[in-house]
Structure 1
Amino acid sequence: MSDITAFIMTCLSAVYFIMPAYIANLSGLAFGGTTPVDLGRNFPDGKRIIGDGVTWKGLIFGTITGTLVGAIEGILIWDPVYGIVIGFLLSFGALLGDAVGSFIKRRIGIGRGKPAPILDQLDFIAGALILASLFTTITWETVSIIAVLTLIIHLISNIIAYLAGMKDVWY
């Protein structure tokens, strides 16, 4: 196998692994709304704890959807139980990481929907990988590939959403 073929296979494997987190993050946004996780409460600094963007509905539906993706992956390639467990950890971790990112943004005075480069793109990946690493070994090579691909995918998808009129800004 050539080096380029091995690299492509490694990239595809990394994307396959992180797919439950990607789907959970997307589903959390698509199915979100209603009651915010922080219930509208403020932190002792007087600012919202997380904000209106992270909701119970998004957290629940995102976790369920991502876990289902993991279960399907488990049936197709892994072991079904492994797929369910890793799917849950990646999904819930992604949404937890997104909530932590929102918490950080509120602390440093960045409002909802305002950009926080790198944090906006990688908070959910960090949460997903941290939780998943409690159950499985994740190489630094895989982490690096996921981080770089996530930055690229995020930028491209935001540009497409902007051009389609779904977003007000391209980033």
Structure 2
Amino acid sequence: MVLKLVFMSFWYILPAYVANASACIFGGGTPIDLKKCFIDGRRVIGDGVTFKGSFFGILLGTLTGAIQGILINFNIFGQLDFYAGIIDHIILAFLLSLGAIVGDAVGSFIKRRLNIERGKPAPLLDQLDFVIGALIFAYPFAPIPLSMVFIIIVMTLFIHFIGNVIAYLIGVKDCWW
């Protein structure tokens, strides 16, 4: 039962994970804030959230949902308590992906207001901004129990840490956090 709940939690949030990672991998170019400054004189968001990264993050996250919908329709995993139909998976994945990108941008906005430079750590904010954004956007369409939200948060902290260490070791990131 617990293992099924962990799997369902991972399955639910997977498009947001893909969106967040894809935005980093395929990012670069023009930042979303167009290099504009906020009323405090600091950049609104910074160079880390770009049009290109946001586009590919949302696209690949949504594509992940389409693949999930196909797998569920082919009953690959047996009978699971997921939302019926490919279209439902695509809509959920789009909302999760868009929420992940917006959540990451909000996290960057908060870091700029706290005068934390890009790449410098902001514990918990760095790890959870995209997940919280994803859950806020997706919840009205596909609500989940609080137990799944808790599992997603704990799982995200673990996956984020491991992913960053691996990215650092292979030279994709300049710091391990």
Which bin holds the TM-score, normalised by the shorter protein? over 0.9
**Alpha-carbon deviation of 1:168?**
2.8
CA deviation vs aligned residue, 1:43-80 (integer Å, no higher than 9, x gap): 01100000000000111111011001011111221411
Unmatched tracts of structure 2, length 5 or more: 73-83
* Equivalent residue runs for 1:18-97 within 5 Å: 18-77=13-72, 78-97=84-103
The residue type equivalent to 1:33 in the other structure is: G
Tell me, what secondary structure is at the counterpart of 1:43? coil
Output the amino acid matched with 1:41. Answer: K
Match among 101, 122, 126 for residue 116 of structure 1: 122
- Given residue 7 of structure 1, which amino acid in structure 2 is its aligned partner? V
Question: What TM-score comes out, normalization by structure 2 length?
Answer: 0.91
The C-alpha deviation readout for 1:151-170, integer Å capped at 9, x for no partner, is 00111111222233333322
Instruction: Give TM-score scaled by structure 1 length.
Output: 0.94
Q: CA RMSD in A?
A: 0.9
Percentage identity across paired residues of the two chains: 57
Instruction: Tell me which moved more, 13-22 or 73-82.
Output: 73-82
Residues of 1 paired with 2:173 and 2:139: CA distance? 34
Q: Name the amino acid aligned to 2:37.
A: N
Q: Which consecutive aligned stretches of 4+ in structure 1 deviate over 6 angstroms post-superposition?
A: none
- 2: CA distance between counterparts of 1:29 and 1:98? 11
The structural deviation recorded for 1:138 is 1.5
Count, aligned residues = 166
- Matching residue of 2:133: 127
